[in-house]
Chains A and B, each alone.
Chain A
Amino acid sequence: MFEKTEQIVNLIGKHFRGELTPEEAATFEEWLSADEENRQLLTQLTDENAMVAELKDYADSAKPGLWEKVQSRIHDGIPVNTNNWQVILRKIITVAACLLIVFLIAVGVFKWYNSSHKPGKEQNVVVTKPVPRKALTGQPANKAVLELATGEKIVLHEKGDGPIESQGAFKVYTTGNDLHYEPNGNIDSKETLYNTISTPRGGHYRIVFPDGSTIAMNVATSVKFKVSSAGLIRDVVIKGEADFDITSNPDHPFIVTILPGINHGASGRVEVAGTRFNISAYEDAAVKKITLLNGNLKVVALGPQAPELITTAQVPGGIGIDLAKSDQAQIRDNGTISVIHNVDTTTVVSWKNGLVPFKKTPTREALSIIEKWFDVDVVYETKNVPEFPFTGDIVPGMSIETVINVMQFQCDDLHLKFDRTKKRLTVLP
């Protein structure tokens, strides 16, 4: 029943787009001529008036009560025939249940009304700062916080261009949206000093190291490294997502350590000799992804641990996997690494241009991405979140409302409510 159907549907699609090859056109014509009804079907499918009505009919299909019906058949058994007294009985019971619920609500309302009128109840007025609208439309702004070795925090986007106090063996300054580190002539300091740069939700930033290596940070990401050893910075720890463009230096492999997730699964380490790669390692992601765009890279999965910082000297000999260009290593919480070849690297780094693709992205992951990209809070008011593979792109300038609309459109069991002033996206039952 299905192969023939698929073939014809495919031909109809090509016919719509004007892409039929001569062979295909012949096959299509054969089908159309085989039965007058076939030709009539095509006519109907191209009749815009009729199709608007059909689309509406389709859109209204499967009303919310359907899931309940599926549930009750799974629990109570499936009737032999659909059209019999069991169905009628079920309908009567449903109506009765509805009436009972209405009655209980009425009673509840009555009780609440009588008890809520207490004298002397104060009104609390909460004043909220107005939220700048820009934050809720697609493009993250350049925002980051630098935590110095002393613990002091500097808000980089409020600082303006110019120097920041010297950190260990490096002088530090900002230009535009970049944070630069350069040697300041100091020798190794006796204490171990770290700097940490963090982007907030809805924030991007870039770090430039003494050898010209750069790290472009995505939203809700933090990068930490030592500044006390003079010379190079070739060792960082990351959680979140960033695009790395690392200068080649075979004597000093660049090491990136990925922190374990919130479920304390495996962490990982990436060693590079000089390359371009993207790491996606958000704490709440079940799978951490390392994609190689250019050069050479080795991925090692470490056990569950929270390393402060691993330096080249301390690197334990874990089993490493060498990646080739366009490979993507995926580290799962249980420590397994799998490699996918020939990934579409443009979609992996498209976030840098403000485009976030959803490719059959499951519901919770999609909402987590939205949370970080738009800087909103996602609140779950139900444990039963419909699972759906969402497909589409968040493009620059797209508002969060549009994204929500599209998601609800693709999966109409998903009920979302967005409060712009509170920046809160609620998942309703």
Chain B
Amino acid sequence: MATQLNTEGFSGDDENEFKRFYSMNKKRLCYFIRKIINNNEDDEDIAADAFAIVFKRFKDFESPAAMKSFLYTTARNRSLNYIKHQKVRSAHEKETRHTNQDNQDPEMERTMIRTEVIKELYEAIPMLPPKCREICELHYFNSLPTNKIAEKLNISVSNVGTQLKIALGKLSRLIKI
């Protein structure tokens, strides 16, 4: 799966720390970036940039919180840069609502809030009661199409949709934020 990281000057612990940091943040970072740049293609490139930059400065961080903060700020800046370049290259690119570079941009804040809430909902799925959890795992984790889920669980397709909505209600009451 993964090739060895270039670990000049790194201890084995640091490498594991970074892998753990990567595992824990990759989904929310990609999601966050996608919401800013408003497309589904280049988010991973920007995310990869941001992680690599964090890795290069790994030893400079005082705490995981500082590292995470830097990761997001870097991703945000690169995303805004990306948008600027897109605009310059093509006037017909999809409009994005994020125009403000400054720290207090309310749109950016909202995107962060949205990201964090969805992350918590997603991570609460294992805590659902068994039947609910099963249908969520099939849909979100295994990416099984709705008709296949209906077949597997012996329920109607519309029931699948209903169950997923009910699950969401439960998730929102399960999250601990």
User: Would you call B116 and A9 a contact (CB within 8 A)?
Assistant: yes
Chain B 136-162 against A: per-residue CB contact (8 Å), 1 yes, 0 no? 010111010000000000000000010
Contacts of A8 in B (CB 8 A): 109, 113
Q: Which of A13, A61, A67, A405 has the most CB of B within 10 A?
A: A61
Residues 53 to 69 of chain B near chain A (Cβ within 8 Å): 53, 55-56, 69
Residues 22 to 39 of chain B near chain A (Cβ within 8 Å): 22-24, 26-31, 34
**Contact flag A41-B113 (CB < 8 Å), given A81-B85, A392-B126:** yes
Is A79 an interface position by the 8 A CB rule? yes
How many Å from the CB of A12 to the closest CB on chain B? 6
Contacts of B44 in A (CB 8 A): 62-63, 65-66, 69
Q: Which of A4, A48, A72, A411 has the most CB of B within 10 A?
A: A48
User: Would you call A37 and B107 a contact (CB within 8 A)?
Assistant: yes
Stretch at the interface among A50-58, A143-151, A197-205, A294-302: A50-58
Stretch at the interface among A208-216, A257-265, A381-389: A381-389
Range of interface residues on chain B? 35 or more
Contacts of A103 in B (CB 8 A): none
Is B2 an interface position by the 8 A CB rule? yes
> Closest chain B residue to A1 by CB distance?
B103
**Contact flag A37-B106 (CB < 8 Å), given A16-B173, A52-B164, A62-B30:** yes
Which applies to chain A's interface (DSSP): helix, strand, loop or mixed?
helix
Is A110 an interface position by the 8 A CB rule? no
User: Would you call B109 and A5 a contact (CB within 8 A)?
Assistant: yes
User: Would you call A57 and B23 a contact (CB within 8 A)?
Assistant: no
Residues 83 to 114 of chain B near chain A (Cβ within 8 Å): 85-86, 103-104, 106-110, 112-114
User: Would you call A61 and B27 a contact (CB within 8 A)?
Assistant: yes
> Closest chain B residue to A79 by CB distance?
B49
Q: Which of B104, B113, B172 has the most CB of A within 10 A?
A: B113
Is A114 an interface position by the 8 A CB rule? no
User: Would you call A41 and B26 a contact (CB within 8 A)?
Assistant: no
How many Å from the CB of A355 to the closest CB on chain B? 15
**Contact flag A83-B86 (CB < 8 Å), given A1-B72, A61-B30, A73-B48:** yes
The residue that B168 contacts in the complex, of A48, A58, A409, with Cβ under 8 A, is A48
**Contact flag A2-B110 (CB < 8 Å), given A70-B48, A78-B53, A81-B81:** no
User: Would you call B81 and A38 a contact (CB within 8 A)?
Assistant: no
Contacts of B53 in A (CB 8 A): 78
- Cα–Cα distance between A212 and B76 once the two chains are bound (Å): 65
Residues 3 to 39 of chain A near chain B (Cβ within 8 Å): 4-6, 8-10, 12-13, 16-17, 35, 37-38
User: Would you call B48 and A384 a contact (CB within 8 A)?
Assistant: no
Is A340 an interface position by the 8 A CB rule? no
The residue that A384 contacts in the complex, of B1, B85, B176, with Cβ under 8 A, is B1
- Cα–Cα distance between A10 and B175 once the two chains are bound (Å): 10
The residue that B120 contacts in the complex, of A13, A51, A65, with Cβ under 8 A, is A13
- Cα–Cα distance between A68 and B4 once the two chains are bound (Å): 10
> Closest chain B residue to A41 by CB distance?
B110
**Contact flag A48-B2 (CB < 8 Å), given A12-B113, A37-B110, A41-B114:** no
- Cα–Cα distance between A65 and B43 once the two chains are bound (Å): 12
Contacts of A66 in B (CB 8 A): 26, 30, 44, 47-48
Residues 360 to 417 of chain A near chain B (Cβ within 8 Å): 382, 384, 386-389, 392, 405-406, 408-413, 415
Contacts of A75 in B (CB 8 A): 6
Contacts of B23 in A (CB 8 A): 386-388, 411, 413
Contacts of A184 in B (CB 8 A): none
How many Å from the CB of B149 to the closest CB on chain A? 13
**Contact flag A387-B19 (CB < 8 Å), given A45-B114, A413-B1:** yes
Contacts of A405 in B (CB 8 A): 137, 141
User: Would you call B47 and A62 a contact (CB within 8 A)?
Assistant: yes
Is A152 an interface position by the 8 A CB rule? no
**Contact flag A409-B165 (CB < 8 Å), given A9-B117, A61-B27, A386-B23:** no
**Contact flag A409-B117 (CB < 8 Å), given A37-B106, A52-B168, A389-B20:** no
How many Å from the CB of B76 to the closest CB on chain A? 8
User: Would you call A1 and B51 a contact (CB within 8 A)?
Assistant: no
User: Would you call A55 and B121 a contact (CB within 8 A)?
Assistant: yes
Sample of 9 more A-B contacts, CB < 8 Å, known A1-B112, A2-B69, A392-B126: A13-B176, A16-B173, A55-B118, A62-B29, A62-B44, A73-B49, A82-B81, A387-B19, A405-B141
* 24 sample A-B contacts, Cβ–Cβ < 8 Å, listed by A number: A1-B69, A2-B72, A2-B112, A9-B117, A13-B117, A37-B106, A55-B121, A55-B122, A55-B140, A57-B31, A57-B34, A58-B28, A61-B27, A62-B30, A69-B48, A70-B52, A71-B2, A78-B49, A82-B46, A83-B42, A83-B86, A87-B45, A384-B4, A386-B19
